[in-house]
C-alpha cells in the first residue's frame, strides 16, 4: 500500500467505527473493509504486490458468489439496487496477477439499510467532505481545482490548487471535526499545512492568485493577463480561514498559534490596493507584469458581495463605505424590480436580469456570511437568494426546452462542466445540463425541494452520478452525459451549505468575528438571523 492509499484506508476504517453501519465478516482479521449505506456498499482493501486487477464478488445467501466488477483500484462502491434493500451481503476480493492466477485477498460482510432523510443528508455531506480531505493535494493540503476519476487531465493541472475552492471546503473540514469524522488534532494538522503553504505561496499585495501549483506555491495563470492577485478568489479563501480562526482562537497553545497565523494573513491582505489608488470600487485582478490591464471592476450583482464585506472589515487595509455604495451598488443602480414565476428579484443580476444568474451567486458569498435576516438599503438577502433559487427551479420544472429528466426532482442550473466543456448554466442559458451543486447547495433556502433532488439522484441514478467524493459535477440525461469528474468550487458549497442548513456552524463562526460585525455596520447592513 502506498503512502497516499494508507491514510484513505485508515480513514475509512475510522469511519466504519464512527458510523457503526457495517459489520465485518466473522473472519475478523480480513483486510477487506466494507461499509453499507442505503443503496450501496463501499469496499476498501490493501494493495497487494504483483496484483494488477481485483475482482469483487458478492453473495446474498448460501455463499453463492457472483462477480460484481473487475477493477484496478483498491476501492469499490457497489450499488446494489438490483439486489434489493435491507441486505446482508458477503463480499470476496480476488486478486489477479499477470499470469492469470487468483489470490483471495479477503472476505467481509456488510449490511445495507433504509436511511432516514437525516441519514441520507449526513451521508452526502460526509462523502463531499472527503474531496477536501482524502482528495486534497498532498504537499499543500489545499483543495485541488479538479479531480477526474478517469485520470485524464487535458490541461495537465492535476496538482493545481484553487484558492476559492479551498476556502469553500475549509468549512467542510471544520464540520468534520465538529461531527467527529476526524479528530480536532487531525484538523489542526491539516490547517497548519494549508497555512504554512499560504504563508510561502505567491502573493500580490497580500492577495493570492486564483490557481497555485501545489508542489511549489507558484502562481499558475488563469488566463493570459490573469497571473497575479485574484481578489475575489482570495476573499472566498479568507471567508473560510476566518471561520477557522474563530473556531480555534480560544483553544490550546497549538490552536491559538494557528489562529494567530491566520490573523496575520488576514491583516496583510491589502484590500485598499485593489481600488487602483483610491477609486470608489474594487478591482478583481492585479498582475505584476500586466498591472491593471484586466480592468475588471466589481459591480453588483453577482457572486462577489463577500469581497466588499471583507474589504470593509479589514482592520489594516479597509476600504471606505463609498466604494461599496458607489462601486458595488452602482449608486443605487444595483436595484431592479422584476418578477419571474411569481418570485420577485430586487437586485439586478449582471447579464441575467430577467430570471437571475447561475445559482452559485446565491452560495459563494453566503457560506460564512449568514443571509438570514441580512438586510441593507438594497435588499433582503435571504429573500433574494430564496427567490433566485425558486426561479431557477421553476424554469427547470416548466422545462421550456423539453429536456429529458427535468422536473421537481431534477433541477438546478449553475456553473459546472457541460457537454461543451464548461458553462455558467442559468434560465435562458440552459444547455440541458443539471449541476447537482445547484440544488444541493440551496438546501438552506429550499430544504424540501433540494431533498427531492438528492433522493432522485441517489436512488434512481446511483453510480452514474455518485462516487467517492459525493455527486459528480454534472449530468445530462438528454445527452447521456455523466462525467465522473469533480470541481472544488462545486463540491465546497455542497458540504458547507448542508452543514449550515443542519447546524448553522459556518455562519455562526464567520459572523462571530468582531471585525465582520463592524464591517457590516460600516456598510449599513443589519443582521438579525
In this predicted structure, what is the pLDDT of residue 29?
Answer: 82
State the Rg of the chain over Cα: 24
Burial of 224 (0-12, 13-18, 19+ CB in 10 A): exposed
Q: Is the peptide bond before 301 cis (omega within 30 degrees of 0)?
A: yes
CA–CA gap between residue 140 and residue 144 (Å, rounded)? 10
List the alpha helices (DSSP H) in 421-487.
436-440, 447-455
Largest CA distance in the chain: 77
Over the chain (529 residues), what is each successive 10-residue block's mean pLDDT?
A: 55 56 52 98 95 96 91 97 96 92 95 98 98 98 97 95 98 98 98 98 98 97 93 98 98 98 98 97 97 96 98 98 98 98 98 98 98 98 98 98 98 97 97 98 98 98 98 98 98 98 98 98 94
In this predicted structure, what is the pLDDT of residue 62?
Answer: 76
CA–CA gap between residue 391 and residue 494 (Å, rounded)? 20
CA–CA gap between residue 324 and residue 321 (Å, rounded)? 5
Q: Is residue 312 within 8 Å of residue 318, measured between CB atoms? A: yes
In this predicted structure, what is the pLDDT of residue 23?
Answer: 41
CA–CA gap between residue 221 and residue 207 (Å, rounded)? 14
Taking alpha carbons only, the member of 388, 461, 478 closest to residue 427 is: 388
Q: Is residue 308 within 8 Å of residue 323, measured between CB atoms? A: yes
In this predicted structure, what is the pLDDT of residue 15?
Answer: 61
Question: Residues of 481-496 as b/e, b for ≥16 C-beta within 10 angstroms?
Answer: bebbbbbbbbbbbbbb
Amino acid at each position: 500500500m502506498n503512502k497516499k492509499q494508507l491514510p484513505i484506508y485508515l480513514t475509512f476504517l475510522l469511519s466504519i467505527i464512527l458510523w457503526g453501519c457495517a459489520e465485518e465478516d466473522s473472519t475478523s482479521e480480513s483486510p477487506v473493509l466494507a461499509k453499507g449505506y442505503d443503496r450501496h456498499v463501499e469496499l476498501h482493501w490493501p494493495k497487494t504486490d504483483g496484483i494488477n486487477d481485483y475482482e469483487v464478488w458478492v453473495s446474498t445467501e448460501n455463499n453463492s458468489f457472483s462477480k460484481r466488477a473487475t477493477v484496478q483500484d483498491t476501492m469499490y462502491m457497489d450499488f446494489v439496487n438490483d439486489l434489493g434493500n435491507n441486505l446482508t451481503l458477503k463480499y470476496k476480493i480476488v486478486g489477479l496477477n499477470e499470469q492469470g492466477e487468483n489470490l483471495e485477498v479477503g472476505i467481509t460482510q456488510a449490511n445495507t439499510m433504509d436511511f432516514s432523510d437525516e441519514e441520507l443528508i449526513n451521508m452526502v455531506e460526509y462523502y463531499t467532505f472527503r474531496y477536501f480531505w482524502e482528495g486534497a493535494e498532498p504537499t499543500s493540503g489545499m483543495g485541488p481545482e479538479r479531480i477526474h476519476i478517469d485520470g485524464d487531465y487535458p490541461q495537465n493541472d492535476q496538482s493545481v490548487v484553487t484558492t476559492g475552492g479551498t476556502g469553500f471546503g475549509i468549512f467542510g473540514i471544520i464540520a468534520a471535526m465538529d461531527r467527529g469524522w476526524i479528530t480536532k488534532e487531525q484538523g489542526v494538522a491539516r490547517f497548519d499545512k494549508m497555512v504554512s503553504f499560504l504563508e510561502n505561496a505567491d502573493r500580490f499585495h497580500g492577495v493570492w492568485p486564483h490557481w497555485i501549483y501545489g508542489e511549489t506555491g507558484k502562481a499558475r495563470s488563469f488566463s493570459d493577463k490573469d497571473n497575479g492577485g485574484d481578489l475575489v478568489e482570495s476573499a472566498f479563501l479568507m471567508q473560510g480561514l476566518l471561520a477557522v480562526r474563530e473556531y480555534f482562537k480560544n483553544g490550546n497553545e497549538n490552536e491559538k498559534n494557528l489562529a494567530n497565523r491566520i490573523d496575520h494573513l488576514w491583516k496583510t491582505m491589502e484590500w485598499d490596493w485593489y481600488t487602483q489608488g483610491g477609486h470608489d470600487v474594487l478591482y478583481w485582478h492585479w498582475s505584476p507584469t500586466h498591472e491593471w490591464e484586466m480592468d475588471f471592476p466589481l459591480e453588483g450583482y453577482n457572486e462577489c458581495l463577500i469581497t466588499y464585506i471583507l474589504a470593509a472589515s479589514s482592520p489594516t487595509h479597509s476600504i471606505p463605505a463609498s466604494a461599496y455604495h458607489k462601486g458595488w451598488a452602482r449608486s443605487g443602480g444595483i436595484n431592479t424590480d422584476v418578477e419571474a414565476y411569481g418570485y420577485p428579484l430586487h437586485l439586478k443580476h449582471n447579464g441575467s436580469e430577467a430570471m437571475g444568474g447561475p445559482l452559485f451567486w446565491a452560495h459563494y458569498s453566503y457560506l460564512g456570511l449568514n443571509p438570514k435576516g441580512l438586510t441593507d438599503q438594497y435588499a433582503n438577502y435571504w429573500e433574494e437568494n430564496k427567490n433566485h433559487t425558486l426561479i431557477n427551479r421553476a424554469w427547470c420544472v416548466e422545462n421550456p426546452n423539453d429536456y429529458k429528466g427535468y422536473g421537481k426532482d431534477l433541477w438546478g442550473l449553475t456553473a459546472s462542466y457541460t457537454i461543451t466543456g464548461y458553462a455558467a448554466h442559468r434560465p435562458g442559458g440552459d444547455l440541458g445540463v443539471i449541476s447537482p451543486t445547484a440544488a444541493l447547495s440551496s438546501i438552506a433556502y429550499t430544504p424540501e425541494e433540494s431533498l427531492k433532488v438528492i433522493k432522485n439522484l441517489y436512488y434512481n441514478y446511483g453510480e452514474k452520478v455518485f462516487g467517492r467524493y459525493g455527486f459528480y459535477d454534472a449530468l445530462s440525461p438528454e445527452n447521456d452525459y455523466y462525467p465522473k469528474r469533480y470541481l472544488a468550487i462545486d463540491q465546497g458549497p455542497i458540504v458547507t451549505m448542508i452543514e449550515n442548513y443542519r447546524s448553522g456552524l459556518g455562519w455562526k463562526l464567520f459572523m462571530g468575528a468582531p471585525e465582520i460585525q463592524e464591517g457590516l455596520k460600516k456598510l449599513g447592513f443589519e443582521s438579525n438571523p
